[in-house]
Chain A
Amino acid sequence: MFNPRNPRFKNMKRMKPRIAVFKYSCCAGCEFQLIFFQKHLLETLKAVDVVYCKMLKSGGVEAGPFDVALIEGAITEEWQASQLKKIREASRYLIPIGSCAVCGGIPAIKNSTDELDVEKRVYADTAFLHSVTAAPIDHYVKVDGYVKGCPMGERDLDELVISLLLGKKPVFLEYCVCVECKLRGAICVLVAYGEPCMGPVTNAGCGALCPVNNRACYSCWGPMRDANAKALADQFLKMGLRKEDIFRKFTEFGQPTDEFKPGALT
């Protein structure tokens, strides 16, 4: 990941990678997951220099430069977008962490409702609000990979940290939950038990946590690249699900994504 030939940050070559963590609209669970990186926290902190992370320490250098900026949360206000662009400028690598940052996640559920209605439902006085449609990070800036999950998954996080330490480009999982499910030998809950499982269209990384426990996947990792959401939605219809339920399944996580739109519109 740290290409020594990259001229831009030449003088930083021998230094510990400088990490910054920024939080936008989300539950802060991913940042917590980072700090709660139980098994490897000590090794990681020895090897990297966390220069900005509100949950870890006060203060910090907000302006950068950073080797890696980790962004959690969706963009739901204008100021967030402009700050994000500045962070992008100041960072070599910018990686969204967790479903909200990767694909809109929970905050993006509001996108299906009129923005004013959403504001009114939550706040008595909406005069001071400048909220916008919730969007993932890559809607505003170029990103260098995604650590998916809700909260972000351990496998991809491990891969990110190890890649940082080894100086390689991380290889994140891009296949669906079904792969992990079968690799664990779990019975397919969609086929065998008729559960409306979102596994076939959902990105892997969780180790098929729900299907392994005989529960349908609800897509908290967000969509897999090239997912065929329409075909799965059609199958749900055949199984007797109502259209509203199918809509909810495809907008619970990943509302703004192109992959899930055809499913939600079924």
Chain B
Amino acid sequence: MKDAQGEGYLLARDDLFDWTDTLLRDFAVQGPVLKKKGQTVFERIDDPSSLQLDYCSTMLAPRNFIYPQRQEFLHIQRSSGQTRVVTPAPAARNILFAIHPCDMHAITVLDRIFSRDSWDFSYNKARHETITVVLNCAKACDQGFCSSMGTGPFLKIKDGYDVEITPVDRAYVMEFGSRRGRDLIRKAANLRRITGADLSQKKRVEKKAEASFTKFLDTKGLPELLARTLNHSVYKVTADTRCLNCTNCTMVCPTCYCYNTEDLTRFDLKQVERKRHWDSCQELNFARVHGGNFRSSREARLRQFVTHKLCTWVEQYGCVGCIGCGRCMTWCPTGIDLTEMAKEIQRDWSPAEKR
């Protein structure tokens, strides 16, 4: 839909804020906002001027607006066992505004997990009610390598999103991936249809953005390689000397989906809230069963993270679990770098294979 010429629109730079203002009247707009010491976070805005559109990457990906950190999903009467599904708060008026293409891509990865084989009620409800507005990146983030993973710097997917915005010279190219997105764009004043010239300008911005990357990962043959090198020393060395088990990598990863459930009984002992919260494979008890722990070593847990993202995910979901946003390495207190670990394994193995 987005490629059909004349189907997109052009909006002057200054008019974007008016458009956002219009959206604020009907929607809860969750956008990037600048915080202390240059940190950007996604939160609800009530003034378009608080938007920080020129942001690098937030700590938490905006996945928490669709798949919240903590969530009650079932309410149980303890004596009778009667249950009531707790419906997530209506997200119908939620707009994820100006999320980067990598994060949009991550949401479509989560879609596969939560709706392909079996249906997650809470996730899908929030997902279908949330409008996504993607802002293409004019330059690479410091730690980003999305161009290597095929998830950026411009949107690479054809559906699953609503609006795609590209900053061009003194204007924005506004395209849409859904009818809902088209209606949203049409709320803007002073729109004009895009021309071939606009699209070639968009292409130029994309080329320039792609040229600005400094971090790369060669994914060719990587899943197969990682499957063969499960006992590579890089896991043990990194786990022993640097990994803290702090779970930051998995908590900030936009495609991590694991959760844990717990029953919270109220003090009257009559009501039980069955809740879930994000869990992490880096946590000691993640794979513990009665009488044993299948990943009791830090090495095993680190290997699980690396091989799941870059290797076994492909067999499970037909795509790589890493979208190249660079968050896991940015927010690792000791700076453990997923791409460096992969590259170390590639360095050790590739020459031998050539021989």
Binding site for B on A (CB under 8 A): 39-40, 43-44, 161-162, 165-166, 171, 174-176, 178-179, 182-185, 187-188, 190-193, 197, 199-201, 214, 224-228, 230-232, 234-235
Contact residue among A166, A188, A225 (Cβ-Cβ distance under 8 Å from B265): A166
CB-defined contacts of B268 to chain A, threshold 8 Å = 43
Nearest CB of chain A from residue B348's CB, rounded to whole Å: 23
Which interface class (under 10, 10 to 19, 20 to 34, 35 or more) fits B? 35 or more
CB-defined contacts of B248 to chain A, threshold 8 Å = 178, 182, 188, 191, 200
User: In the complex where A166-B265, A183-B70 touch, is A192 in contact with B241 (Cβ < 8 A)?
Assistant: no
Q: Is B133 interfacial (CB-CB < 8 Å)?
A: no
B241:A200 contact, CB within 8 angstroms: no
B333:A232 contact, CB within 8 angstroms: yes
CB-defined contacts of A190 to chain B, threshold 8 Å = 333
Q: Mark B34-70, 1 if CB is under 8 A from A, else 0.
A: 0111010100000000000000000110001000011
CB-defined contacts of B246 to chain A, threshold 8 Å = 176, 178-179, 199-200
Cα(A225)–Cα(B285), bound, Å: 10
CB-defined contacts of A193 to chain B, threshold 8 Å = 37
User: In the complex where A176-B245, A228-B243 touch, is A200 in contact with B252 (Cβ < 8 A)?
Assistant: no
B242:A231 contact, CB within 8 angstroms: yes
A228:B269 contact, CB within 8 angstroms: no
A201:B39 contact, CB within 8 angstroms: no
Apart from A43-B268, A175-B247, 20 more pairs, CB < 8 Å = A44-B267, A161-B267, A176-B247, A178-B246, A178-B247, A179-B247, A182-B69, A182-B251, A183-B69, A187-B36, A187-B39, A188-B59, A188-B248, A191-B331, A200-B248, A227-B244, A227-B245, A228-B298, A232-B244, A234-B334
A175:B283 contact, CB within 8 angstroms: yes
Q: Inter-chain contact count A-B, CB under 8 Å?
A: 107
Q: Mark B234-267, 1 if CB is under 8 A from A, else 0.
A: 0000001111111110011000000000100101
Q: Is B74 interfacial (CB-CB < 8 Å)?
A: no
Max count, chain A CB within 10 A of own CB: residue among B41, B59, B244: B244
Cα(A193)–Cα(B39), bound, Å: 10
B267:A40 contact, CB within 8 angstroms: yes
B322-355: which residues lie under 8 A (CB-CB) from chain A?
330-334
CB-defined contacts of A187 to chain B, threshold 8 Å = 35-36, 39, 41, 59
Contact residue among A178, A185, A188, A225 (Cβ-Cβ distance under 8 Å from B284): A225
Binding site for A on B (CB under 8 A): 35-37, 39, 41, 59-60, 64, 69-70, 240-248, 251-252, 262, 265, 267-269, 277-278, 280, 283-285, 298, 330-334
B267:A183 contact, CB within 8 angstroms: no
Can you report 11 residue pairs joining A to B where beta carbons are below 8 Å apart?
A: A40-B267, A162-B267, A175-B280, A182-B252, A183-B251, A187-B39, A188-B248, A225-B284, A231-B240, A231-B241, A231-B242
A228:B245 contact, CB within 8 angstroms: yes
CB-defined contacts of B280 to chain A, threshold 8 Å = 175, 179
Nearest CB of chain B from residue A213's CB, rounded to whole Å: 12
B251:A231 contact, CB within 8 angstroms: no
> Chain A residue with minimal CB distance to B78?
A166
CB-defined contacts of A224 to chain B, threshold 8 Å = 245, 284
Cα(A44)–Cα(B267), bound, Å: 8
CB-defined contacts of B265 to chain A, threshold 8 Å = 162, 166
Nearest CB of chain A from residue B247's CB, rounded to whole Å: 5
A231:B244 contact, CB within 8 angstroms: yes
User: In the complex where A174-B284, A183-B69, A225-B284 touch, is A192 in contact with B59 (Cβ < 8 A)?
Assistant: yes
Max count, chain A CB within 10 A of own CB: residue among B70, B242, B248: B248
B60:A185 contact, CB within 8 angstroms: yes
A185:B64 contact, CB within 8 angstroms: yes
User: In the complex where A40-B267, A183-B278, A190-B333 touch, is A200 in contact with B285 (Cβ < 8 A)?
Assistant: no
Nearest CB of chain B from residue A263's CB, rounded to whole Å: 11
Nearest CB of chain A from residue B316's CB, rounded to whole Å: 24
Cα(A178)–Cα(B280), bound, Å: 11
Nearest CB of chain B from residue A217's CB, rounded to whole Å: 11
Contact residue among B36, B60, B241 (Cβ-Cβ distance under 8 Å from A182): B60
A179:B333 contact, CB within 8 angstroms: no
Cα(A7)–Cα(B264), bound, Å: 30
CB-defined contacts of A166 to chain B, threshold 8 Å = 265, 269
Cα(A40)–Cα(B60), bound, Å: 35
CB-defined contacts of A182 to chain B, threshold 8 Å = 60, 69, 247-248, 251-252, 278
User: In the complex where A175-B283, A183-B69 touch, is A192 in contact with B245 (Cβ < 8 A)?
Assistant: no
CB-defined contacts of A201 to chain B, threshold 8 Å = 244
Nearest CB of chain A from residue B64's CB, rounded to whole Å: 7
